[in-house]
Amino acid sequence: MRVHLPLAFLAASMPALLTSTGDAADEIVVLSAGGAHRTVVLVIDGPGGAEVALEEAAKGLDVSFSRAGRDAKVTLRSGGREVTLENGKSLFSVAGQLRALAAPVRVVGERTYVSAPSAAIVLGAALGQTATYRTAYRALVIGAYDAPRLRLVNLVSVASVESTIELSKPVPYEIRKEPNRVVVIFQADVMETDFVAEALPGRIVVSARFERASPPRLTFDLGDRFGSVKTSERDSQHVGLLFDTPPIAGAWPVPGGPEGPTGRPAPGKSVALGTGFQKPIVLVIDPGHGGDDGGARGPGGKLEKDVTLALARRLRAAAVDSLSVQAYLTRDNDMEVPLDERAAIANNFNADIFISLHANGSRAASAKGTEVFFLSYTAADDEARRIAMQEGEITERTRGNDKDVGLILWDMAQAAQLEASSRLAGNIHGEIAEAALSRSRGVKQAPFRVLVGATMPAALVEVGFITNPEEEKLLFSEAHQVRLTNALVQGLGRFIAALRANP
Ligand SMILES: [Zn+2]
């Protein structure tokens, strides 16, 4: 809806419109000096599109208006600065210089109408401050206005959805429980966020979405498995919402599995729930080597087993935090774990993804870069054979010469996953190649023993060459580890998004 009536009439007869949040498309907000000044301005339709009245937008700002030339010329004054506009002209003067506007100025009665972006230019010139019009927020921002930033993390598990709202600075808020939804309303003029909306599995909370309304709000749409919501505040910048299922026996169909005393599944049991439910994605991260097996050694004496463990721990934390997955390590300290056992751990966890982390080694100190592997049963070339030997190659037994059927089945486990594994490797490579600040050696295949028994998509990542003096230093720096972790999370995120869309 656009307002075609004179503003004075509207203000007198329909004051509710001025504060209405239901039809915010016809308003813009003026923000200045850290939000100290805020005016809602009605927007009207002019010949060239939506326009705002400068007199309205300047309310509360240190700007005076005067008219001359039978009211055709309008002058804005502030702190010795003068800006003059003229009816019908697509320009204005400031300090004797002419500047262009996108559309002609319209003087109608007591009001001087320009487009919202032009209002920012004109008021900014009058006030001697930078001013911009932010289309996404419908806000005319004068001077430095530091909008609060919002981040939302949703952790979905079988029995609950844990949502954490992170704010860059404290913002007063109100939580409203409405039928079928929970709404968090923030007392802020605008909020910055990358979060738009997220569909959540499990039917406790169906979706979370952010609306840039006035005031801005987060809405959690509740599903048929929703029972109750508890809110908590760790501090004024972290608001937690815990959405639970009803604590009633029978609410949980647990096919074939024993139930706990509350009717919930016994802990540790993987359960398949009714239609529409997706079990949480499980990620198993394998820090390569460990214990007596130090892996490759750098010229500075650093060991591969230490960087793989450091990266794996970071990745576990980051994946749980931002991918809403369950994540486990095959080793969480400096211990030796046999190669076959690493894939077995992933199988025992019923993992959806298995990723083995390594740092490469080469006799050539200049060798550098990242590469991501998935399994092949034979080495395609000498380089693949060299790396497979370094990281543990498939032996003759695991190539299937053994007569033991059980072993052969185990050895073929990864064969069924090769297509998915190649996608996983591709997704990870797509992100890590750039983050590694080095050349990408691509996605490759090699006969890795550690991958062969994994019954889920699996990839081995060489995050860089520890034998390269520069990369050795990089790999042990916190900044680089964070960069690599973020890239791994991004790559895994892409794979997981596809998995969730098409389980
Ligand atoms: Zn290795």
Average pLDDT over residues 258-281: 40
pLDDT reported for residue 247: 64
Residues 181 and 32 reside in one and the same domain: no
CA of 429 to the centre of ligand 1 (A): 17
CA of 395 to the centre of ligand 1 (A): 17
Quote the CA–CA distance of 214 and 115 in Å, as a whole number.
Answer: 21
CA of 404 to the centre of ligand 1 (A): 29
CA of 401 to the centre of ligand 1 (A): 26
Average pLDDT over residues 383-407: 66
Question: Which tops the pLDDT comparison, 157 or 292?
Answer: 292
Average pLDDT over residues 330-355: 90
CA of 48 to the centre of ligand 1 (A): 65
Q: Assess if residue 270 is contained within a domain.
A: no
CA of 499 to the centre of ligand 1 (A): 28
Residues 92 and 32 reside in one and the same domain: yes
SS3 state of residue 47: coil
Average pLDDT over residues 241-245: 92
Check pLDDT > 50 for residue 403.
Answer: no
Check pLDDT > 80 for residue 70.
Answer: yes
Final residue in a domain of this structure, among 142, 166, 188:
142
CA of 357 to the centre of ligand 1 (A): 7
Q: Which residue bears the tokens 């030796």?
A: 336
Q: Assess if residue 262 is contained within a domain.
A: no
Question: Which tops the pLDDT comparison, 436 or 19?
Answer: 436
CA of 64 to the centre of ligand 1 (A): 72
Average pLDDT over residues 350-369: 93
CA of 462 to the centre of ligand 1 (A): 7
Sheet holding 353-360, edge to edge: 326-329, 282-287, 353-360, 458-465, 370-375, 440-446
CA-closest candidate to residue 463, choices 491, 500, 433: 433
Q: Assess if residue 12 is contained within a domain.
A: yes
pLDDT above 90 covers what percent of the chain? 40
b/e 160-180 (16+ beta carbons within 10 angstroms → b): bbbbbbebeeebebeeeeeee
Lowest mean pLDDT among 135-144, 359-368, 406-415, 458-467: 406-415
CA of 259 to the centre of ligand 1 (A): 42
Check pLDDT > 90 for residue 442.
Answer: no
Residues 490 and 461 reside in one and the same domain: yes
Residues 302 and 332 reside in one and the same domain: yes
Quote the CA–CA distance of 249 and 337 in Å, as a whole number.
Answer: 41
DSSP states along 454-483: -SS-EEEEEEEETTSHHHHHHHTSHHHHHH
Contact 53, 7 (CB under 8 A): yes
pLDDT reported for residue 383: 83
Could you tell me the CATH number of the domain that includes residue 213? 2.60.40.3500
Check pLDDT > 80 for residue 410.
Answer: no
pLDDT reported for residue 243: 94
Check pLDDT > 60 for residue 396.
Answer: no
Question: Which tops the pLDDT comparison, 472 or 72?
Answer: 472
Quote the CA–CA distance of 143 and 169 in Å, as a whole number.
Answer: 19
Average pLDDT over residues 137-151: 81
Cα 428 off chain centre by? 17
Residues 83 and 171 reside in one and the same domain: no
Q: How many angstroms separate the Cα of 217 from the Cα of each of 171, 197, 300?
A: 12, 12, 53
Could you tell me the CATH number of the domain that includes residue 307? 3.40.630.40
Q: Assess if residue 234 is contained within a domain.
A: yes
Residues 122 and 88 reside in one and the same domain: yes
CA of 264 to the centre of ligand 1 (A): 42
Residues 202 and 333 reside in one and the same domain: no
Residues 323 and 458 reside in one and the same domain: yes
CA of 294 to the centre of ligand 1 (A): 9
Work out the pLDDT band at 195, boundaries 50, 70, 90. Answer: confident
Work out the pLDDT band at 312, boundaries 50, 70, 90. Answer: very high
State which residues form the domain around 218.
150-244
Centre a 10 Å sphere on the Cβ of residue 185 and count the other Cβ atoms it contains: 18
Work out the pLDDT band at 22, boundaries 50, 70, 90. Answer: very low
Q: Which residues contact residue 278 at a Cβ distance below 8 angstroms, ignoring those fewer than 6 apart?
A: 201, 202, 500, 503
Please give the mean pLDDT across all residues of the chain: 81
CA of 482 to the centre of ligand 1 (A): 20
Q: How many angstroms separate the Cα of 230 from the Cα of each of 182, 199, 475?
A: 11, 20, 42
Token pair in block for residue 46: 């002019």
Residues 137 and 181 reside in one and the same domain: no
CA of 390 to the centre of ligand 1 (A): 7
Q: Assess if residue 484 is contained within a domain.
A: yes
Residues 376 and 235 reside in one and the same domain: no
pLDDT above 70 covers what percent of the chain? 83
Q: Assess if residue 255 is contained within a domain.
A: no
Q: Which residue bears the tokens 């007591």?
A: 110
CA of 486 to the centre of ligand 1 (A): 21
Check pLDDT > 80 for residue 408.
Answer: no
SS3 state of residue 384: helix
* CA atoms within 13 Å, Cβ hemisphere of 421: 28
Residues 53 and 122 reside in one and the same domain: yes
CA of 20 to the centre of ligand 1 (A): 62
Split into its structural domains, the chain has a count of 3
Question: Which tops the pLDDT comparison, 409 or 463?
Answer: 463
pLDDT reported for residue 31: 82
CA of 381 to the centre of ligand 1 (A): 19
CA of 460 to the centre of ligand 1 (A): 9
CA of 387 to the centre of ligand 1 (A): 8
Quote the CA–CA distance of 484 and 331 in Å, as a whole number.
Answer: 20
Question: Which tops the pLDDT comparison, 262 or 298?
Answer: 298
Residues 105 and 74 reside in one and the same domain: yes
CA of 323 to the centre of ligand 1 (A): 26
